[in-house]
Amino acid sequence: MSKPSGQRSKGVNGWLLSTPALVLLLLAASGPLLIVAAYSVMEKGDYSGVRWVLSGEGWFRVLFERDIFDQTVSLADANLSIFWRSVKLSIATTLITFFLGLPTAWFIATRPASSRAFWLFLITIPFWTNLLIRTFAIMEVIRNQGILNTALMKSGLISEPIQILYTDTAVLIGMAYVYLPLMVLPLYAAVDRFDFKLIEAGYDLYASRWQILRRVILPIIKPGIIAGSILVFIPSLGAYVTPRVLGGGKNMMIGNFIELQFGQGQNWPLGAALSTVLLLVVLVSLVVYTRVSSRDNQDG
């Protein structure tokens, strides 16, 4: 059965109205991604760039390396170490922001309606400041002569400064600080819709606080937990500024490693292959989130 002419015209008008946005996405987003994917299967240039000759060397060097003398193949331990550090710090950042963000979101959601906007305003204030400035602010806190070490030494708790800067701990602290609002806001949206009468019902059924948290609160706010985890994990995995400033040159993550290949390393195929791998990890994370969210919606 054919659709009425009015519905067909609305569909055509809808496509026409969305054409500028689709063209912009195609040229500004999909186009560069396709170029990066093409670079990943080309030969390395003599000094930089690529030679337009098909080669799988870039993808090969993501996980393997050849000895410069006898050409024996072995695992690229340095690459795997950077991959593991990136995943480890991203997961740790997600967990820290969750454990800090859930009480914060619960506190805001349980305030009077007239004051919630003020608390949310305080949460969004860091977004008003450039990421680089916030990272340097954290550096001033944790460096050897910074606020933290100075306070500990003056209180007599330590006799010499604790080396925090240029370590994985410094990167973790910086990323947790930077991405904490991205966890708090989805959690607040989930807690704000929570029916607190369910907690009273749980106490009436002699449930403990731990049982109520595990069996009532967490399952209901799970969509907010998943959304916040995705919003924190994905940018943490590709973080560049925070690891570069707080980790120094020796504590690289995958974002810094990619930049190194396009810069000093002058190995564009490897950098493009690493970028594609990072993109695939992000896509897998988003697909998992979408499937879990769809299943939650189907279950009501």
Does some domain include residue 232? Answer: yes
Question: How far, in whole angstroms, is CA 300 from its chain's centroid?
Answer: 28
Q: Which residues of 71-102 are buried (b: 16+ CB within 10 A; e: fewer)?
A: eeeeebeebeebbebbbebbebbbebbbeebb
Residue 252, classified by CB atoms within 10 Å of its CB into exposed (0-12), middle (13-18) or buried (19+), is buried
Return mean pLDDT, the chain: 88
In this model, does residue 12 exceed pLDDT 70?
no
- Look at residue 278 and tell me if it is in a domain: yes
pLDDT of residue 171: 95
**Token pair recorded at residue 6:** 């009015």
Q: Does some domain include residue 124?
A: yes
Q: Is residue 20 part of a domain?
A: no
Q: What percent of the chain has pLDDT over 90?
A: 60
User: How many domains would you assign to the chain?
Assistant: 1
CA distances from 67 to 75, 82, 139, 265, 287 (A): 11, 20, 39, 17, 38
Say whether 8 sits in a helix, a strand or coil.
helix
Q: Which domain holds residue 211?
A: 77-298
Q: How far apart are CA 176 and CA 106, in angstroms?
A: 19
In a domain, 45, yes or no: no
Measuring CA to CA, how many Å separate 58 from each of 54, 149, 282?
Answer: 10, 44, 20
Hey, what are 79's tokens?
């690459």
Asked if pLDDT for residue 131 goes beyond 80, the answer is: yes
267 occurs within a structural domain: yes
Residue 214 is classified by DSSP as: I
- 23: in domain: no
- pLDDT exceeds 80 at position 15: no
pLDDT of amino acid 3: 54
Q: Is 2 a residue whose pLDDT tops 60?
A: no
Structural domain includes residue 52: no
The pLDDT tens digits of the residues spanning 98-130 come to 999 999 999 999 999 889 999 999 998 888 889
Q: Which residues pair with 50 in a beta bridge?
A: 44
Residues 202, 198: Cα–Cα separation, whole Å: 6
Q: What is the pLDDT of residues 210-253, one digit of tens each?
A: 999 999 999 999 989 989 999 999 999 999 999 999 988 778 89
Q: What is the CATH number of the domain that holds 119?
A: 1.10.3720.10
